[in-house]
């Protein structure tokens, strides 16, 4: 727990959760192709003129490119290198190093640790572990899931925020699932 100093009335008696113990920074440099600069608008229009006053002046942020699809790395084992803070979302992200030498960021599920192995794929030989990505037909009932696709090969669109999950509560014969 982190206790704030009473500089203003709003910070008096305020305690926050300190997430620094959960974050494990990457000892090596993260590849630059996983970052993209977000151009700040700062209340300007396409000509650069101020259209909204009192905007701008915020900290420069890099957008971390998250791999929501993960089907491009089917049956390739990856290793979690680090768990990092992302200023663009409210969940932590993990840097994955794949065996073929490529890197990717994924949303870090609860329970994922550094040096864990993760895989994704369409076959049933992939084990059911934290961080693995597999079709719903291979996941048993009452298993918590996150980063759910609405359509195949479209990438995760639901259940991506910090602390959110869904459970499979039933399966039907015709491969329709109820969450």
Alpha-carbon distance of 109 to 112, in angstroms, equals 6
Which residues contact residue 35 at a Cβ distance below 8 angstroms, ignoring those fewer than 6 apart?
62, 63, 64, 65
How would residue 123 be classed by pLDDT, with cut points 50, 70 and 90?
confident
Return the pLDDT at 175. 64
Q: Can you tell me which residue has the tokens 């918590």?
A: 144
According to the model, what pLDDT value does residue 176 have?
A: 65
Residue-wise pLDDT for 47-61, tens only, equals 999 999 998 888 888
What percentage of the chain exceeds 70 in pLDDT?
97
Sign of CA dihedral 145, 147, 151, 153: negative
Q: Are 116 and 79 in contact (CB under 8 A)?
A: yes
Any residues with CB less than 8 A from the CB of 118 and at least 6 apart, and which? 77, 78, 79, 80, 96, 106, 112, 129, 131, 132, 133
20 pLDDT above the threshold of 80: no
Q: How confident is the model at residue 72 (pLDDT cuts 50, 70, 90)?
A: confident
């Amino acid at each position: 727990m982190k206790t704030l100093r009473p500089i203003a009335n709003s910070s008096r008696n305020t305690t926050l959760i300190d997430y620094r113990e959960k974050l494990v920074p990457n000892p090596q440099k993260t590849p630059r192709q996983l970052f993209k600069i977000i151009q700040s608008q700062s209340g300007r229009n396409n000509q650069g003129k101020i259209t909204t006053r009192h905007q701008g002046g915020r900290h420069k942020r890099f957008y971390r490119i998250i791999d929501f699809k993960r089907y491009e790395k089917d049956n390739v084992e990856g290793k979690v290198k680090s768990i990092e803070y992302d200023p663009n979302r409210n969940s932590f992200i993990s840097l994955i190093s794949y065996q073929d030498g490529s890197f990717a960021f994924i949303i870090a599920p609860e329970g994922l640790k550094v040096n864990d192995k993760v895989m994704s794929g369409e076959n049933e030989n992939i084990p059911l572990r934290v961080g693995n990505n597999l079709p719903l037909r291979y996941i048993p009932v009452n298993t918590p899931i996150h980063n759910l696709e609405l359509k195949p090969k479209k990438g995760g669109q639901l259940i991506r925020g910090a602390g959110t999950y869904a459970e499979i509560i039933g399966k039907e014969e015709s491969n329709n699932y109820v969450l």
